[in-house]
Amino acid sequence: MRVALERPTVRVVGEERTVLEVRDAHFAYVRSRPVVRGVTIHASPGEVTMILGTSGSGKTTLLKLCKGLLVPQRGDVRVLGDEVAAPRRGRLDPRVAYIPQQLGLVRSLSAMENALVGALARVGTLPSLLRLMPEPEVRRARELLGRLGIGHKAEEPVHALSGGERQRVAIARALMQDPRVLLADEFISDLDPLTGAEIMSLVRDAAGEGVAVVMTTHEMDVVREHADHVVVLREGETSLDAHGVPDARAITEALRR
């Protein structure tokens, strides 16, 4: 079902309208049981797209297809026209930042070192980080951590940080990539409402700078407040694709098995 709702989609003047294009994507881990079935999604710069769906509906699988960690068996996923599943020079497209549900931070490294991981594609060097990183990158990571409210924890190892602080480090690492697309899987589900709201405002800031944000969530309040575009998956198929103010009834209906 495709419906147009009230809030107009954010339009970024002079930018491409679609940064991320998922076209008729199909994926099955086991041949007999497809979990993403003909999904088509367009995500635009400046827009927060929220993917909803009951557990097992294929949200995480879809995000992995968007990052190129999984390759669709039919259809394709493109970022600015390039197929993401065709790694260039053997690596995944750095224009797509992916924050997995478990955040994927290196717990023994500091907040700063984790943020600098986001610069690796640009710098082209393997860890050992801090000492090998060009000074401008280190300065930028420091600024970013400051802007995200954890400058004072920059040297702390990630294992000593709270959930909300780790989330901020994950955003810092993602933004250090200069992404055009930011994918985040159940990003704020473990946070208290206040911290969740703060983190969402940081995500909105990233969108405000022209990033296409695509995130999964189960939190209807977050959807109501922050979504520009809502996609609901039901058993791997799109049951709703709506721009603007999400209509709670339409969403509930689309979620229903």
Ligand X SMILES: Nc1ncnc2c1ncn2[C@@H]1O[C@H](COP(=O)(O)OP(=O)(O)OP(=O)(O)O)[C@@H](O)[C@H]1O
Are 240 and 231 in contact, with CB atoms under 8 Å apart?
A: yes
- The one of ligand X, Mg ion, none whose footprint includes residue 53, by CB under 5 to 8 A per kind, is ligand X
Distance, CA of 246 to CA of 134 (rounded, Å): 44
Question: Interface residues with Mg ion (CB under 5 A)?
Answer: 59-60
- The one of ligand X, Mg ion, none whose footprint includes residue 56, by CB under 5 to 8 A per kind, is ligand X
Q: β-strands 237-243, 229-234: how paired?
A: antiparallel
- The one of Mg ion, ligand X, none whose footprint includes residue 246, by CB under 5 to 8 A per kind, is none
Distance, CA of 124 to CA of 244 (rounded, Å): 40
The smaller minimum CB distance to ligand X, of residues 53 and 246, is found at 53
Q: How far is the CB of 151 from Mg ion (least distance, A)?
A: 31
Q: From the list 8, 11, 56, 155, which residue makes contact with ligand X (rule: CB under 6 A)? A: 56
The radius of gyration computed from the CA coordinates of the chain, to the nearest angstrom, equals 18
Q: How far is the CB of 122 from ligand X (least distance, A)?
A: 30
Q: How far is the CB of 219 from ligand X (least distance, A)?
A: 12
The smaller minimum CB distance to Mg ion, of residues 199 and 215, is found at 215
Q: From the list 2, 55, 128, 257, which residue makes contact with ligand X (rule: CB under 6 A)? A: 55
238 makes contact with ligand X (CB under 6 A): no
- How many CB atoms are closer than 10 A to CB 257? 7
Q: How far is the CB of 131 from ligand X (least distance, A)?
A: 37
The 3-class secondary structure across 161-198, one letter per residue, is CCHHHHHHHHHHHHHHCCCCEEEEECCCCCCCHHHHHH
The smaller minimum CB distance to Mg ion, of residues 61 and 177, is found at 61
The smaller minimum CB distance to Mg ion, of residues 113 and 185, is found at 185
Q: How far is the CB of 150 from ligand X (least distance, A)?
A: 27
- The one of Mg ion, ligand X, none whose footprint includes residue 55, by CB under 5 to 8 A per kind, is ligand X
217 makes contact with ligand X (CB under 6 A): no
Q: From the list 42, 59, 168, 226, which residue makes contact with ligand X (rule: CB under 6 A)? A: 59
- The one of ligand X, Mg ion, none whose footprint includes residue 35, by CB under 5 to 8 A per kind, is ligand X
29 makes contact with ligand X (CB under 6 A): yes
Residue ranges binding ligand X (CB under 6 A):
29, 35, 53, 55-61
